[in-house]
């Protein structure tokens, strides 16, 4: 489901619009996949809470790109789209323990705060509280008050709290933030933003006053959200239309 800054709560269904300022909440054994207008994916794990704080993408104006997500609780995978490829410094995720920046990548985050019972690391041990990171491609950096590290493809990371230096986790202590395999299938044929099927990057400009896609506007998805919990979402009437938001059950 999505909690809107207006106080409205909606249940996500295929092709549901997702707007800047929305707080996405998943229930037990439920997953969701959100496709951004730039072709990027947000894959939401069970028992998660994620805020879309800011999203700006215009195919013709890369200098205005910005993606900002806030992982409040639970887990997520991010597969970056055009913004992450052409402006990686403008794509980041904040968590209770660290801020994660990207350099064009596929990575997973799992925030544990006494709520990860049943989740196990690669050695079968319970996950400790903190932020667990895995990187499948590209490189990310994790930074907080104690310092910063780079984490590259094939590596795991861990951040115990906001005052503890982020660290590379040995493979046995790593945690792969998994999602159902079919959630990462390209399956571009049903992308309403791009009938040509090239991932919503080309021709994905959206009309500023409508959730319908259009190729003629030079002012595509452009909005910034407020803090988690329904703060000021800026121009929240400007939609960040998802390719789809589909709930998968029974994976865990």
pLDDT in tens, 57-112: 988 999 999 999 999 999 999 999 999 999 999 999 999 999 999 876 899 999 99
pLDDT band at 142 (very low <50, low <70, confident <90, very high): very high
pTM of the model: 0.77
Mark 89-107 as b/e (b = at least 16 C-beta within 10 Å): ebbbbbbbbbbbbbbbbbb
Please give the pLDDT value at position 29.
83
Alpha-carbon distance values, 39 to 34, 191, 193, 224 (Å)? 10, 10, 10, 18
**pLDDT above 90: percentage of residues in the chain:** 56
pLDDT per residue over 143-169, tens digit each? 999 999 999 999 999 999 999 999 999
Please give the pLDDT value at position 77.
95
> What phi and psi values does residue 167 have, to the nearest 5 degrees?
-140, 155
pLDDT per residue over 168-191, tens digit each? 999 999 999 998 887 766 654 444
**CATH number, span 2-190+201-249:** 2.60.120.1440
Give the other-Cβ count within 10 Å of 73's Cβ: 17
In the chain, what are the domain boundaries? Answer: 2-190+201-249
């Amino acid at each position: 489901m999505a909690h809107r800054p207006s106080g409205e709560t909606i249940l996500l269904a295929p092709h549901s619009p997702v707007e800047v300022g929305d707080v996405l909440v998943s229930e037990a054994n439920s997953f969701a996949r959100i496709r951004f207008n730039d072709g990027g994916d947000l894959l939401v794990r069970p028992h998660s809470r994620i805020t879309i704080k800011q999203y700006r993408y215009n195919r013709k104006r890369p200098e205005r790109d910005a993606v900002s997500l806030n992982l409040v609780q639970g887990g997520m995978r991010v597969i970056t789209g055009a913004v992450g490829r052409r402006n990686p410094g403008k794509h980041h995720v904040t968590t209770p323990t660290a801020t994660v920046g990207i350099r064009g990548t596929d990575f997973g985050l799992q925030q544990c705060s006494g709520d990860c019972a049943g989740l196990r690391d690669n050695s079968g041990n319970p996950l400790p509280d903190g932020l667990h990171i895995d990187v499948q491609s590209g490189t990310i950096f994790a930074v907080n008050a104690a310092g910063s590290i780079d984490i590259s493809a094939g590596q795991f990371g861990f951040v115990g709290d906001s005052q503890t230096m982020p660290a590379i986790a040995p493979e046995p202590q790593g945690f792969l933030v998994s999602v159902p395999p079919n959630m990462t299938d390209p399956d571009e044929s049903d992308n309403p933003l791009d009938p040509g099927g090239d991932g919503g990057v080309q021709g994905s400009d959206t009309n500023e006053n409508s959730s319908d896609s259009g190729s003629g506007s030079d002012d595509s998805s452009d909005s910034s959200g407020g803090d988690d919990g329904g703060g000021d979402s800026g121009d929240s009437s400007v939609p960040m239309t998802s390719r789809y938001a589909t709930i998968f059950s029974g994976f865990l």
